[in-house]
Chains A and B, each alone.
Chain A
């Protein structure tokens, strides 16, 4: 009865049906004898870089010796028909899958012609690519009051807009950028699975069928309510997510099975790391961020930071801070971050910070060493600037400050005056000063930079990009 009910529901609901037709019926004559084997197991491998899910649907068919036709049809769900694959899980040497036929004037239907030297039940797997599932990662960080450590919680949210209810499905999530040529949804909506050869349309043939879109179907509220209830019961014991690397991807396998009805999303905890040491880094780089100081929260995806078991998928991190001993929170900011491999540093841009200030001041400017050409025109000169950069930390916390200074030319010489903290040449026209700032403190760095222009630059030779210090 269940099979019959499901078949009759196919018109309004999204349903994938497997039909074994054991009669040698002509392809166009549709199906005379129908059996609907139940799903033994279904596995969803969901990608987040593309609208793409690999569905592996295991069923047990009953075949007879000789010619068998296996009809697979779907309605109101977006399946790429060119991705259909049938794999026997037993008796593979006794089953020849001769052809997969997409009969004329039908849509969302494929028929496998199978020659069997075995009679009886055969477990098979039907694999295909479907559209409509998605997942994304997001995070919550809670800083300690001194902002030195953070509790980091990761979540994934899986959404089913496929048109199909998946009950007790094994859910796997793929982290990584997949390269595909065509959108699965577009392939699924094609009138003919592989399109048609380029030519004028045949005379007198009317194309039939209009693509039926996913969605808009009546929901079976009773079924969904039951599913949701089961899901809530399951949520009482958080499920583990098993993570492993495969090729250039990371595969997250959610423990057990999940029931995700069409239209529903499910939030699942991915990981929790307590006491992750974090560094508050404040960066001033006028070329990139303008005059403001940008706050970065940095840590490393490694064992020393109580992480490092797997890469961290990109997502939004909302950062809070424990505001008092009663656990009240204050919101610090949020940052969308990119995929973080194991052992890589993480830098979260939490936005502009007004309580740490940088004020660069040009204290002196002069030009010198003019060269003239044969016409008496200026052919080269030097420009020397004295800079004082004042850094103020108004926060009651120790912070690290990074100052990036750009010279706009590779033809420069630099003299640092006094204590300038840690100094590094970043590239041919950029240097970086790193200062450890005590709570509520002020520091000033001073330097003199000489840039050469015109023929003076040509004559610079080995002196370009050199640095020395003066006390």
Chain B
């Protein structure tokens, strides 16, 4: 049983009915072509065409709804044809009703094609992605779905569903129905796999722990034309990442939620943690020097001499590039460092360390922090 509806009623106005006891002479015009615009993730715009039969003079068109949530102030009426012969005089809201009344002046009796637009609550869309990586993890098939959720109270038959990027499909959607529609499917999108150890986040000495310390692993996919993407932004949504097992099957690598990715930027998918790369970091030296004292002999300013040693082990059968992030607060000067680094921020440096398969590398970093108070 349909309990929710939107009704557009054309009322031939012959008597001035008193407010609060309106007697409606209703001719229900059929809903014409309807568009559900899902290109805005925060609100869904419905545009529907109705043909109204107007008499010469002033007509009242009653638009009412029940059991649906629509934004009253968003309702608009546009006359599509005939143009110039119908004038919208005013809009009024009857008391105690979910309705509004348009007053239209027609030059002649005629059939008028109108478009009624409104923001309808309870209908929206989600975006989901499925990335299926090849076995070497160099390329992915990236598939995206639009999920149309209709909990608006209203059924739509053969509506034009306008999605992001102007993609339009004709779909019916019933109240309480969820529908998953293919948005795009792009094969062979290049992907880069990245391991990251951030010394400010992860424990330094995994031997001291009873659980494995996972090194976060990310896939990076560029939203660019060279990757087969780059035509539109990629909307935020949940991503499930699978990998080809080389024998016709797949495994689930993990899932992540991504924010909106503008064209030219990277989608960074955290897919899980690696336990086959082990990083052990230790501070081997921490000594203050160059003490400067106040008149009472108290040290007010000094420098620190520090040595950090990092052992990076790769237990995998394949090489890996580890991004190692180190933090050195305040003013500092590197005295000796056996691996090249780049200074990303004043207090953050990063190393890209190539770890051979089943191999190990060590970093020794000797720096001095200046003018510590």
In the complex, are the beta carbons of A246 and B151 less than 8 A apart?
A: no
B338 interfacial by beta-carbon distance below 8 Å: no
Bound complex: CA A105 to CA B177 (Å): 8
Please give the distance in Å from B170's CB to the nearest CB on chain A.
Answer: 10
Could you mark each residue 295-308 of chain A with 1 if its beta carbon is under 8 Å from any beta carbon of chain B, else 0?
Answer: 00000000000000
Q: What are the residues of chain A within 8 A of B289 when measuring CB–CB?
A: 458, 461
A315 interfacial by beta-carbon distance below 8 Å: no
In the complex, are the beta carbons of B285 and A464 less than 8 A apart?
A: yes
B interface residues, tally (CB under 8 Å): 78
Q: What are the residues of chain B within 8 A of A85 when measuring CB–CB?
A: 130
Bound complex: CA A427 to CA B298 (Å): 29
Find A343's partner among B68, B287, B315 (CB 8 Å cutoff). B315
Please give the distance in Å from B356's CB to the nearest CB on chain A.
Answer: 12
Bound complex: CA A85 to CA B130 (Å): 10
Q: What are the residues of chain A within 8 A of B122 when measuring CB–CB?
A: 196-197, 199, 202
A221 interfacial by beta-carbon distance below 8 Å: no
Stretch at the interface among B11-19, B74-82, B220-228, B253-261: B253-261
Q: What are the residues of chain A within 8 A of B274 when measuring CB–CB?
A: 248
In the complex, are the beta carbons of A56 and B249 less than 8 A apart?
A: yes
Chain A-chain B contacts (Cβ-Cβ < 8 Å), number: 202
Nearest A-chain residue to B360, judged by Cβ? A343
Q: What are the residues of chain A within 8 A of B358 when measuring CB–CB?
A: 342-343
Q: What are the residues of chain A within 8 A of B297 when measuring CB–CB?
A: 373-374, 379
Tell me the residues in window 93-117 of chain A with beta carbons closer than 8 Å to chain B beta carbons: 97-105
Bound complex: CA A174 to CA B245 (Å): 12
In the complex, are the beta carbons of A97 and B182 less than 8 A apart?
A: yes
A103-B238 contact, Cβ under 8 Å, with A205-B153, A341-B278, A464-B287: no
B60 interfacial by beta-carbon distance below 8 Å: no
Tell me the residues in window 246-302 of chain B with beta carbons closer than 8 Å to chain A beta carbons: 246, 249-257, 270-276, 278, 282-289, 291, 296-299, 302
Tell me the residues in window 366-414 of chain A with beta carbons closer than 8 Å to chain B beta carbons: 373-375, 379, 410-411
Find B270's partner among A127, A179, A205, A373 (CB 8 Å cutoff). A179
A311 interfacial by beta-carbon distance below 8 Å: yes
A interface residues, tally (CB under 8 Å): 75
Q: What are the residues of chain B within 8 A of A205 when measuring CB–CB?
A: 3-4, 67, 153, 175-176
Bound complex: CA A62 to CA B208 (Å): 59
In the complex, are the beta carbons of A410 and B291 less than 8 A apart?
A: no
Find B135's partner among A98, A199, A246 (CB 8 Å cutoff). A246
In the complex, are the beta carbons of B273 and A179 less than 8 A apart?
A: yes
In the complex, are the beta carbons of A341 and B315 less than 8 A apart?
A: yes
Q: What are the residues of chain A within 8 A of B243 when measuring CB–CB?
A: 246-247
Nearest A-chain residue to B177, judged by Cβ? A104
Find A374's partner among B211, B288, B296 (CB 8 Å cutoff). B296
Q: What are the residues of chain A within 8 A of B238 when measuring CB–CB?
A: 181
Q: What are the residues of chain B within 8 A of A426 when measuring CB–CB?
A: 282
A178-B282 contact, Cβ under 8 Å, with A197-B123, A199-B121, A461-B289: no
A411-B67 contact, Cβ under 8 Å, with A104-B177, A105-B176, A192-B178: no
Q: What are the residues of chain A within 8 A of B121 when measuring CB–CB?
A: 197, 199
A436 interfacial by beta-carbon distance below 8 Å: no
In the complex, are the beta carbons of A461 and B287 less than 8 A apart?
A: yes
B163 interfacial by beta-carbon distance below 8 Å: no
B179 interfacial by beta-carbon distance below 8 Å: yes
Nearest A-chain residue to B195, judged by Cβ? A248
B362 interfacial by beta-carbon distance below 8 Å: no
Bound complex: CA A176 to CA B271 (Å): 11
In the complex, are the beta carbons of A102 and B178 less than 8 A apart?
A: yes
Could you mark each residue 178-215 of chain A with 1 if its beta carbon is under 8 Å from any beta carbon of chain B, else 0?
Answer: 11110000000000111111011011110000000000
A100-B67 contact, Cβ under 8 Å, with A177-B275, A194-B147, A465-B285: no
Q: What are the residues of chain B within 8 A of A127 when measuring CB–CB?
A: 250
In the complex, are the beta carbons of A311 and B255 less than 8 A apart?
A: no
B109 interfacial by beta-carbon distance below 8 Å: no
Bound complex: CA A465 to CA B249 (Å): 56
Bound complex: CA A375 to CA B313 (Å): 53
Nearest A-chain residue to B133, judged by Cβ? A247
Bound complex: CA A464 to CA B181 (Å): 67
- Chosen A-B contacts, 14 in total, with CB atoms closer than 8 Å, are A99-B179, A104-B177, A181-B257, A247-B251, A248-B217, A248-B273, A248-B275, A314-B212, A341-B275, A341-B278, A411-B287, A427-B282, A428-B282, A464-B285
A205-B153, A246-B246, A428-B282 provided; 18 other pairs, C-beta below 8 A? A97-B182, A99-B180, A99-B182, A177-B272, A179-B254, A179-B270, A181-B238, A202-B68, A202-B151, A203-B153, A249-B251, A314-B212, A338-B211, A344-B278, A374-B297, A428-B286, A455-B299, A458-B291
* In the A-B complex, the 10 residue pairs with the closest CB atoms: A341-B315, A104-B176, A179-B254, A202-B153, A179-B272, A102-B178, A100-B180, A197-B124, A196-B151, A427-B282
Residues of B at the A interface (CB closer than 8 Å) are 3-4, 66-69, 121-124, 126, 128, 130, 133, 135, 137, 147, 149, 151-153, 171, 174-182, 208, 210-212, 214, 217, 238, 240, 243, 245-246, 249-257, 270-276, 278, 282-289, 291, 296-299, 302, 313, 315-317, 358
